[in-house]
A and B are shown apart, each in its own frame.
Chain A
Amino acid sequence: MSAARSPLRALFQREWRIGRRVGGTGSMGVVFFLILVSIIPFAVGPDLVLLARIGPALLWIAALLATLLGLDRLFQGDDDDGSLDLLLMSETPLEAVVFVKCLVHWLLTGVPLVVAAPVFSVMLGLEPKAIFGVTISLLAGTPALTLIGAIGAALTVGFGRGGLLLAILILPLCVPVLIFGVSAAQAASGGTVPFMTPFVILSALSLAALALAPFAAALALRQARI
């Protein structure tokens, strides 16, 4: 293997390798997604018409939970073994470190969910346009979930029950993404709302999160050390 040429490239490579080698990083999220989708009919009944109507919402909620529940590990490992201290003392800005970690998390957790969504959509009886809507809205919205979740991960680094506290802190902040994500998913099937409106807003939310969340997360990480 060749030596990494730049710190961020090296960080990406390291995070990627860790993510791929630690068992179950991407697959646990997808399995959890599948389990949620599977137990819904037990609660709601197997009526495909009903499931198709609420399907986009269920898939979005499942994707949201699957993303959030793995995020508490985002900084925990580095905090435990002292890597976070050393990263703080390197020339690379902490915001860039946060961004790279979020990128890898999204690639290894968010993207598998997006890929799995069409399959699970079929289980809920969605028609092709709806499947497309769900998939593309998840593609545009899961980055925002990872980035906003990173803020929660930074705030809860070092706690035992980090996952639960993280969800409590972050879920209210994810409401806009959920609203516009489901709205876009449903608008793809037709209806009074044009698809582009919620979809563009959703994408804008992801971009805004991209611009702001690394700074908030870095601030939270720094404040925890002092």
Chain B
Amino acid sequence: MLNIANPTNFLKLASWLVPVFAVLTAVLLGVGLYLSFLAPADYQQGETVKIMYLHVPAAWLSMFIYGVMCSAALGTLVWRHPLADAAQKAAAPLGAGFTFICLATGSLWGKPMWGTWWVWDARLTSVLVLFLIYLGLIALWQAIEDPGRAARAAAVLTLVGAVNIPIIKFSVDWWNTLHQPASVFRLGGPTIAASLLWPLLVMALAFTFLFLTLHLMAIRNEIYRRRLRRLSILAASAGETDLSNTMMEPAR
């Protein structure tokens, strides 16, 4: 049984898994985009509703990636696993990226409908706060030099965030109903008919494989980065000259 917990074994696994996932991603993206363009236009919003096929899967991914980070965080704190550290660190920018795609597509979707580039509706705002949490995690990673310590701090923050995110969602929904009682348009659009569901699912799957591909690649890079760091430290130690001959013998 291959022990992928060992970084070397992981690298071997990644070397064939990444191309496979990449191909799957390309295929799924192709099929998904094709289906999206084929899908019927919305009677109210016209063709622009198809941005939903990017926006909604991106939202799902931003939550899914946070879940992946939580599992990795547990791996770091409970099992002290170096691969969990790398998985955490690699996932954070990807999570931020998908969250950003969700926000950007939400903005693009809203412009034709409301004439503004941004609107503070409940879901977009919740996603914005999630984006800020991702940015905070990235900032924490960058602030701590020692990778082990950074991983543990980020793990604690990730788990604290996990507890908070449902509370934030609840409070943003509350806030939204307070301030926009007359809001009719939910950015989710009208209830989605079954025929429109297939492109959505395919795109979601495509995004998932895109994430997995990028994630594996990023973990691989992180492993290389750590090895480089270790080698640099060893090189520094090897360069030390031995001064022990000049020291006094301890007194007895």
Chain A contacts to B: CB under 8 angstroms? 151, 155-156, 159, 161, 165, 168-169, 171-173, 175-176, 179-180, 183, 192-193, 198, 205, 212, 216, 219-220, 223-224, 226
**Is there a chain A Cβ closer than 8 Å to B140's Cβ?**
yes
Residues of the A chain whose Cβ atoms lie less than 8 Å from the Cβ of B172: 175, 179
**Is there a chain A Cβ closer than 8 Å to B135's Cβ?**
yes
Residues of the B chain whose Cβ atoms lie less than 8 Å from the Cβ of A179: 171-172, 174-175
Q: Which of B101-152 contact A (CB under 8 A)?
A: 129, 132-133, 135-136, 139-140, 143-144, 149, 152
Q: A216-B160, A220-B156, A224-B153 are in contact. Are A155 and B178 (CB under 8 A)?
A: no
Closest to A183 in B: B178
Asked if residues A159 and B156 are in contact (CB atoms below 8 Å), the reply is no
Shortest B183–chain A CB gap in Å is 15
**Is there a chain A Cβ closer than 8 Å to B243's Cβ?**
no
Residues of the A chain whose Cβ atoms lie less than 8 Å from the Cβ of B132: 171-172
Q: A168-B139, A216-B159, A223-B77 are in contact. List 6 more A-B contacts (CB 8 A).
A: A151-B160, A169-B139, A175-B129, A192-B181, A193-B178, A220-B153
Asked if residues A224 and B149 are in contact (CB atoms below 8 Å), the reply is yes
Chain B contacts to A: CB under 8 angstroms? 77, 129, 132-133, 135-136, 139-140, 143-144, 149, 152-153, 155-157, 159-161, 163-164, 167-168, 170-172, 174-175, 178, 181
A interface, over-half SS: helix
Report how far A226 CA is from B150 CA in the complex, Å.
12
Report how far A216 CA is from B139 CA in the complex, Å.
19
Q: A180-B171, A224-B149 are in contact. Are A173 and B135 (CB under 8 A)?
A: no
Asked if residues B160 and A224 are in contact (CB atoms below 8 Å), the reply is no
Asked if residues B164 and A173 are in contact (CB atoms below 8 Å), the reply is yes
